[in-house]
C-alpha cells in the first residue's frame, strides 16, 4: 500500500473546521449566484483568486464576505452537507464543526431556524454520507460583549441536538478589550455542560494560551502553536495532556509561518504534546483533511505509524461517545496492521 493509499484509507476525524470556511468552491459559487450583489465572485477563476490571502486580516475580510452569503436556513444545511460529502470522500467519519451564531444573527436568521437547519443537516450527514456531525458554537473574538451574549444565549436556549462545545475564534489581539465578558461566557457554558474548546496561540503568543487555560477552562485548544515560546507552558500542556488542534496549511495561508517547512508540528510532537491534525478552512486554503496528512508525511517525514497515531489522537480528543471511539480506534489499528 502506498503512503497516499494508506492516508486515503485511514479513518479520520476533523476537530477543527469552520462552517463558513468548509464551503467548497462549487458551494460558494452556488451561494454567490443565489445571492447576487454580495461582492463574492461568481466566476470560478475569480473566486480562486479571491481566496489567495496576504495575511490574517485579509483572510478575515474574505471569510466575512462569504459568511454574508449565508442568509437562509437552507444555506446553512447546504454547507454542513457539503462538508460531510467532502469528508466522506477522504475517509472522514466524524467532525466537530465550528458554527458562529452571531454571524447568523446579524443577517436576521432566528435562533430556532439556525438550530433546525443544523439538526436536519446532522441527520442527513449521517444517513447520506456516513459522517457523524457535532457542533461547537464559537464567539468571534473581535466583536465583544454582544457577540459573547448572542453565542451563549443560542447555546443555552436553542442548542442543536449535537452541540458539544463552546469556543472563541477571530483576531486574538482583540480579546483583552472584552476579557471579563468572555470569561463569564465560558464559565456559563461550562456550567451548562459544554466543553471548552477555544482558539489560542495562533496569531498571538503564549499569553493567550495561558488565558484560555486559566480562565476559560480549555479542554482542547485550537492551534496553540506559539506555546513553544514559553517552556513553562509547554511543560504544563504536556503534563495536563490538553490537546492542540493543529492546522499546518492554515497557518501558512494566514501568514503565521513563512514556509510550510517552518511549521512547528515536528517540534510539538518532539515535545511530547498531544497533537491532532485538522484543516480549519479547507477550500479557502486549497487543502483537505487528507492533504494535511500528506503534508505531515511529505514535508515532515512522518511514516504510517506516526500518521496513524495522529488519527488516533483525533479520536481520543473528540467528544464522540466512548463506544464510537473504541470502534474507530479498532479500525485504525486494523488498517495499520495490514499496511
Contact 320, 15 (CB under 8 A): no
Task: Please identify which of the residues 132, 202, 211, 219 carries the catalytic annotation.
Answer: 202
> Can you give the pLDDT at residue 54?
67
The pLDDT, as a whole number, for residue 53 is 67
Give the Cα separation of 131 and 129 in Å (integer). 5
A 10 A CB-CB count for 33 gives 12
Residues 256-283 have a mean pLDDT of 96
Please tell me the distance from the alpha carbon of residue 165 to that of residue 338, in angstroms, as a whole number. Answer: 35
CA distance linking residue 107 with residue 328, whole number of Å: 39
Q: Which of 60-64, 119-123, 265-269 has the lowest mean pLDDT?
A: 60-64
All 3 cell numbers of residue 246?
A: 493543529
**pLDDT at residue 93 in the model:** 98
Mean pLDDT, residues 149-156 taken together: 98
Q: In this prediction, what percent of the chain has a pLDDT beyond 90?
A: 81
User: How big is the CA angle at 41 (ends 35 and 43), to the nearest 5 degrees?
Assistant: 105
Structure confidence at residue 200 (pLDDT): 98
Dist CA 263 CA 256 (whole Å): 9
Closest CA to 114 of 144, 137, 148, 87: 137
The reply to whether 202 belongs to the active site is: yes
- Are the CB atoms for 100 and 20 separated by under 8 Å? yes
Q: Where are the domains of the chain?
A: 12-286
Residue 110 backbone phi and psi in degrees, to 5: -70, 150
C-alpha–C-alpha distance, residues 289 and 7, integer Å? 10
- Residues 31, 37: Cα–Cα separation, whole Å: 11
Q: Lowest-pLDDT range, 100-104, 188-192, 221-225, 268-272?
A: 100-104
Burial class (CB in 10 A: 0-12, 13-18, 19+), 57: middle
Dihedral angle sign, alpha carbons of residues 244, 27, 32, 76: negative
88/131 Cα distance (integer angstroms): 6
- Look at residue 169 and give its three-state secondary structure: strand
Rounded Cα gap, residues 119 and 111, in angstroms: 12
Least reliable range by pLDDT among 55-69, 136-150, 168-182: 55-69
Homologous superfamily (CATH) of 12-286 is Metal-dependent hydrolases (3.20.20.140)
Cα-based angle 275, 281, 283 (whole degrees, multiple of 5): 125
Rounded Cα gap, residues 118 and 48, in angstroms: 27
CA distance 137 to 323: 25
DSSP H helices, the chain, are: 3-9, 25-34, 44-50, 56-67, 73-88, 101-105, 111-129, 144-157, 179-191, 206-215, 231-240, 248-253, 265-270, 289-298, 304-317, 322-338
pLDDT tens-digit series, residues 2-43 = 999 999 999 999 999 999 889 888 888 888 888 888 888 899
- Nearest Cα neighbor of 6 from 328, 308, 283, 227 is 308
Looking at residues 217-239, what average pLDDT do you find? 98
Question: Which of 200, 137, 133 is closest to 172 using CA atoms?
Answer: 200
Burial classification of residue 127, based on how many CB atoms lie within 10 Å of its CB (0-12 exposed, 13-18 middle, 19 or more buried): exposed
What pLDDT, on the 0 to 100 scale, is given for residue 235?
98
Take residue 312 and report the three cell numbers written for it.
488516533
pLDDT of 38 reads 80
What is the pLDDT confidence band of residue 52, given thresholds at 50, 70 and 90?
Answer: confident
Separation CA 185–CA 163 (nearest Å)? 16
Amino acid at each position: 500500500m502506498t503512503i497516499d493509499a494508506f492516508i486515503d484509507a485511514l479513518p479520520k476525524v476533523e476537530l477543527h473546521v469552520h462552517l463558513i470556511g468548509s464551503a467548497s468552491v462549487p458551494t460558494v459559487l452556488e451561494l454567490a449566484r443565489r445571492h447576487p450583489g454580495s461582492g463574492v465572485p461568481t466566476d470560478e477563476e475569480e473566486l480562486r483568486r479571491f481566496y489567495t490571502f496576504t495575511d490574517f486580516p485579509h483572510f478575515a475580510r474574505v471569510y466575512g464576505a462569504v459568511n454574508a452569503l449565508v442568509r437562509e436556513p437552507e444555506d446553512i444545511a447546504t454547507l454542513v452537507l457539503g462538508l460531510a460529502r467532502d469528508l466522506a470522500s477522504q475517509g472522514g467519519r466524524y467532525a466537530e464543526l465550528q458554527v458562529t451564531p452571531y454571524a447568523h444573527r446579524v443577517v436576521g436568521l432566528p435562533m430556532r431556524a439556525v438550530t433546525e437547519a443544523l439538526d436536519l443537516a446532522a441527520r442527513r450527514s449521517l444517513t447520506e454520507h456516513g459522517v457523524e456531525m457535532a457542533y461547537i458554537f464559537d464567539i468571534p473574538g473581535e466583536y465583544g460583549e454582544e457577540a459573547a451574549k448572542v453565542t451563549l444565549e443560542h447555546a443555552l436556549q436553542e442548542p442543536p441536538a449535537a452541540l458539544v462545545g463552546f469556543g472563541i475564534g477571530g483576531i486574538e489581539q482583540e480579546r483583552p478589550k472584552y476579557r471579563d465578558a468572555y470569561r463569564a461566557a465560558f464559565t456559563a457554558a461550562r456550567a451548562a455542560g459544554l466543553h471548552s474548546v477555544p482558539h489560542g496561540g495562533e496569531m498571538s503568543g503564549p499569553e493567550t494560551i495561558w488565558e484560555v487555560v486559566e480562565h476559560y477552562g480549555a479542554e482542547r485548544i485550537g492551534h496553540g502553536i506559539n506555546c513553544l515560546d514559553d517552556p513553562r507552558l509547554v511543560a504544563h500542556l504536556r503534563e495536563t495532556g490538553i490537546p492542540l488542534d493543529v492546522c499546518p496549511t492554515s497557518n501558512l495561508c494566514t501568514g503565521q509561518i513563512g514556509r510550510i517547512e517552518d511549521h512547528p508540528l515536528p517540534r510539538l510532537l518532539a515535545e511530547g504534546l498531544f497533537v491532532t491534525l485538522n484543516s480549519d478552512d479547507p477550500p479557502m486554503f486549497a487543502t483537505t483533511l487528507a492533504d494535511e496528512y500528506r503534508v505531515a508525511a511529505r514535508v515532515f517525514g512522518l511514516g504510517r505509524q506516526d500518521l496513524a497515531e495522529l488519527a488516533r489522537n483525533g479520536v481520543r480528543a473528540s467528544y464522540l461517545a466512548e463506544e464510537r471511539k473504541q470502534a474507530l480506534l479498532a479500525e485504525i489499528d486494523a488498517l495499520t496492521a495490514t499496511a
